[in-house]
Structure formats: structure tokens, C-alpha cells
Amino acid sequence: MYREQLEAYFQDKQDMLVDAVCRLVSIDSVEGEPAPGAPFGPGPAAALEEGLKLAQEWGLITQNHEGYVGTADLCDKEDALHILGHLDVVAPGEGWTVTQPYQPKVVDGLIYGRGTDDDKGPVVASLLAMKAVKDLGVPLKSNCRLIMGTNEESGSGDIAWYFARHPFARDITARTGITFTCTSQDGCTVIHAKGEGSHAAWPEGGNNAVTGLIALLCALPLAEGPCKEALNQLNTLLPHGDYHGRALGIAQSEPIAGDLTVAFTLLEVTETGLTGRFDSRVPLCATKENCENVARAAFEAHGFTFEGEQEEAHHTPADSPFVQTLLKRYEEYTGQKGECLSTGGGTYVHEIPGGVAFGCTMPGFDTHLHGADERVKIADLMLSAKLFAHIILDMCAE
């Protein structure tokens, strides 16, 4: 629907994109000594200032979040899509031949310089995509927010800081169907979870806000401690959508009474502990041995197995509506088969449920990422900007 408008819009935007990438690449933004308002040193802070200035010049609503991240918004509506990029870079290292790391140079359709591909070029492509959506004047029902980080290369402390203060509940909403509203009250964040009521005997007829809220709390980068651990364990034993005690190991059924049901409906968390209550309706085949004892053992086992913590793999299912949107547009714009890939690279998205890495390098091109002569294909950035613009429209337009 927007394809023709976008093609026409981007027709004369290449110089604008290249200039913007060069502006950002000219700044040495390797991590340095923290200073007030510059938690990762003056370089990342300067790049952030420049990124925000650019976003503002391009008509977006900007905010500097105490030097940790900067945000650029399309509108003041609720966020439907977050794009994460970063303006810090890794040290330039040796062996540059085409140009110096912070003197960006365009040669044969490529921009050379530290950060051209990782990640200043993609940040500019995202900003240009947002500018396109804004300039086209399409009515929006939701916001797209670009979060520009300053510490991706050395710990991602920026994004952890940001999401601890701005919980983004929508991922979890897509997964659970629970609607979350977050408000600030006296320095605290109050989260309201709205599910759907149902009789405890037919819990699958409703949507349990308690287990949905636990899923959300587990996904947030809350301080580690006994409370977080207890919630994680509950999330394992009584995961959202498990209305038949499968995770507890007590799922069973017989033709007369049907399935065993579990409704976990009451949870109170205090400073000293937590108490929860679940209601289980058991079929005729259930006994103390195969039901009560099994459930008790499962709870006891999880109560005492908190030592160490293995980081879980990040996985976003290929059939999620978000990923399907990305793949569809990718195929449409590139003419290539879209498929999901996995990587061992640690990025922001690892900690973000439902998040994926997407763009801007097209298959078969070596950008020399983190190496000497880092470069990016201008055509790939332009294509990505178009693609991003269309996806923003898919997710945020009325």
C-alpha cells in the first residue's frame, strides 16, 4: 500500500543519508572515563548529542536520558515499536588503508569509517525511515521510538538502565494477551495488568492476569534477589497459559471429568516473602500420589534450586506476527527469500523478549565489522531505510 509513496520519497534522499552517517562517524565515540551527564565518557556523549540534534532537525521528538540513551519519537502516542541502535564504537585498531577511522570517506558506493556499519549507519537508516513516515503524513495510531544507546560495545549498561526506568510491556502483551499499563507514582512504577475473568473450573476460558504479570516481571531487568528468584520459579511452575498443570507435572485427564485444571489466581508479594494460591480441579484418575505429592515435590524442588544462573538463549518464534511482518517486507523489498537466522553475537536484543535483530547488511557483503576499513554499502542503508519505514507504517499507522 505504501510502496510507491516510499519509493518516490527515497528517490532523492541518498545524499542526506550519507551526510548524516558522516557527521556521526566523524566523532570518536569509544568508551571513556565517566563524567556528569556522560556515564560512558565524553565520546559516546558527544555522539549522542549529535544523534539527537540530527533527529531533531529531521522533525522527530527527542530526549536525552541522562546521557545513557537518547530517544527519538514519531509522535506522542503509545509505543508500538522500538528500534534499538547505538552510537558508541569499538576502538579503531590498526590497519586502516582507505581512510582514517574518524574521517569517513565515500568510495564506490561504500562509506568507510569506524561505526559506518556498527552502528551509526543503521541508526541513520532508522532515523531516515522515521523521517519518511513523518514527512508522508500518514495518520498514526501508535508511536515508533528509536532508542540510541551509548554502551552497546562494552556491556550494554545503557539499555539496562533505560528499560529499568521505562518498562516496555508490549512484547509480553503480544505473548500473553494481557494488557499492561505503567504509571509513575511517588518515584515508583505502578504496573496494572488486565486479564479476563473466568470460573476457576474453566480457567482456559479467561486470561490470567496474575501469571501474565509474573511473566512481565520476569522479563524486566529488575534487581536480582530472592524476590526476583521466587518470581522466576513461579513463572516456571505456573507459566502463563498453562491451565492444566503441565509444568507442575500433574496434567491428566479422563473422559468423565476431563482435564485437570489449575488456576493460579492469588499472589501477594511483600518485603519478606510471597504467598500465592492456586485452585486445581482434578479428574477422577487423580490421586494423592500422582497429583498432590507431585505438585508438592515440584514446588519444594524449585524452592531450593536457586544457585547460579545460566543465561537463557534468546528466542523469538519465527511465526510471531512481528517476525512475519519483518520477513514479508524483507522479501518484498529485496526480492530475496526471508528466513530467520541465529547468531552467537551478544547484542541489546538478547535481554528483550520478543525482540529481534534486523538489517542493515544484506547477505554476501563483508562490512569488516569491528575491524579495519569498516564500511557500509550506501545502497543497503537506503534499502534498509525504506524497509524500516514500511514496517513502521505496518505497525504504527492507523
Q: Which is nearer to Zn ion, 79 or 118 (CB)?
A: 118
| Binding range to Zn ion, per CB under 5 A, among 13-21, 114-122, 223-231, 307-315 | 114-122
Size of the site for Zn ion (CB under 5 A): 1
- Provide the grid cell at 154: 562494552
Query: Judged by CB under 5 A, does residue 88 bind Zn ion?
Result: no
* Binding piece for Zn ion, criterion CB under 5 A, among 73-81, 96-104, 111-119, 288-296: 111-119
Strand order in the sheet with 105-107: 105-107, 110-112, 375-377
Q: DSSP letter for 371, please.
A: S
Q: How far is the CB of 2 from Zn ion (least distance, A)?
A: 31
The residue with cell 569506524 is 114
Least distance CB 90 / Zn ion (angstroms): 6
Nearer to Zn ion, 264 or 348 (CB): 348
Piece of 97-105, 115-123, 162-170, 325-333 that binds Zn ion (CB under 5 A)? 115-123
| Residue nearest Zn ion, Cβ-based | 118
Q: What DSSP assignment string belongs to 229-293?
A: HHHHHHHHHS-TT--S-TTTT---EETTTEE-EEEEEEEEE-SS-EEEEEEEE--TT--IIIIIH
Pick the closer one to Zn ion by CB: 24 or 231. 24
In terms of CB distance, is 74 or 89 closer to Zn ion? Answer: 89
Evaluate whether 325 touches 338 at the Cβ level (below 8 Å).
no
Whether 142 and 77 have beta carbons less than 8 Å apart is answered as yes
CB of 145 vs Zn ion, minimal distance in Å: 21
Which residue in the set 28, 31, 88, 118 belongs to the binding site for Zn ion (CB under 5 A)? Answer: 118
Cα distance between residue 84 and residue 357, in whole Å: 9
Contacts of 42 (CB under 8 A, 6+ apart): 32, 33, 35
Q: Please, what is the minimum distance in Å from the beta carbon of residue 347 to Zn ion?
A: 8
Q: How many CA atoms lie within 13 A of 105 on its CB side?
A: 10
User: How far is C-alpha 317 from the chain's CA centre?
Assistant: 14
Pick between residue 243 and residue 348 the one whose CB is nearest to Zn ion: 348
Site residues for Zn ion, 335-364, by CB under 5 A, read none
Nearer to Zn ion, 31 or 118 (CB): 118
Which amino acid, residue 171?
Answer: D
54 within 8 A of 131, measured Cβ to Cβ: no
User: Nearest approach, Cβ of 149 to Zn ion (angstroms)?
Assistant: 11
The stretch among 18-26, 112-120, 232-240, 291-299 that binds Zn ion (CB under 5 A) is 112-120
For Zn ion, which stretch binds (CB under 5 A), given 31-39, 53-61, 117-125, 310-318? Answer: 117-125
What are the residues binding Zn ion (CB under 5 A)? 118
